[in-house]
Structure 1
Amino acid sequence: MRKDDLIPAEEICVRYKVQRQFINSLYESGIIEIVVEEETEYIHCDHLSNFERMMRLHRDLDINLEGLEAVNHLLNQIKELQQDNLRLRNRLGLYE
């Protein structure tokens, strides 16, 4: 993992104007991953879009942490189903 791909959690708190507890809650729920290097916590840039999505849902729609967990679970299921659908379409294309 390259250090260039890591964003300090404190910087995210400042830029997005969120409390550190919100980031910790998302981490504890398994919604985002936190990487610790040299006693500093970072969020990988691949998880930033998921963080932004959850932050908007929390702020704009006032969805609590349990709701965010449910939404995240459903979004992951949709993603898996779309991948399965694509895989099956590709297999079907072989037989046509």
Structure 2
Amino acid sequence: MESKTLIAIEEICSGHKVERTLILTMEEYGLIEVVKEGYVESSYLPRIEKIIRFHSDLDINFEGIDVILNLLDRMDEMNEELIVLRNKLSGFEE
């Protein structure tokens, strides 16, 4: 069974100097998942930091952030697919 590392929301908020409501709003919009009361999985930390930058530095609302993150996820998937296709193609080259 795989153990998940949890990070307290309060720790994230104090480290990034944001309000707790910002993290809870991220969950409301489905951008992250709070797994236990007051905790998120550590794997969400890069995503949370990206959302904080979009929202605080660029003043993008959560609907816009959702669209941006979906597009970035699609780009990552397409890049992975491109790598697989290039690897397959290299097998046919002489």
| Category of TM-score, reference length = shorter chain | 0.7 to 0.9
Structure 1 residue ranges, 4+ long, deviating more than 6 angstroms after superposition:
none
Query: What's the TM-score once normalised by structure 1's chain length?
Result: 0.84
What percentage of aligned pairs have identical amino acids? Answer: 39
1:48 shift after superposition: 0.5
**Unmatched 5+ residue regions in structure 1?**
none
Query: What's the TM-score once normalised by structure 2's chain length?
Result: 0.86
In 2, Cα distance between the equivalents of 1:24 and 1:88? 40
Aligned residues: 92
In 2, Cα distance between the equivalents of 1:31 and 1:86? 27
1:82 shift after superposition: 0.6
**Unmatched 5+ residue regions in structure 2?**
none
In 1, Cα distance between the equivalents of 2:58 and 2:40? 24
User: For the aligned residues, what is the CA RMSD?
Assistant: 1.5
Corresponding residue number in structure 1 for 2:15:
15
1:15-72 CA distance string (max 9 Å, x none)? 2121222112212222222211xxx331212110111011011111111111111111
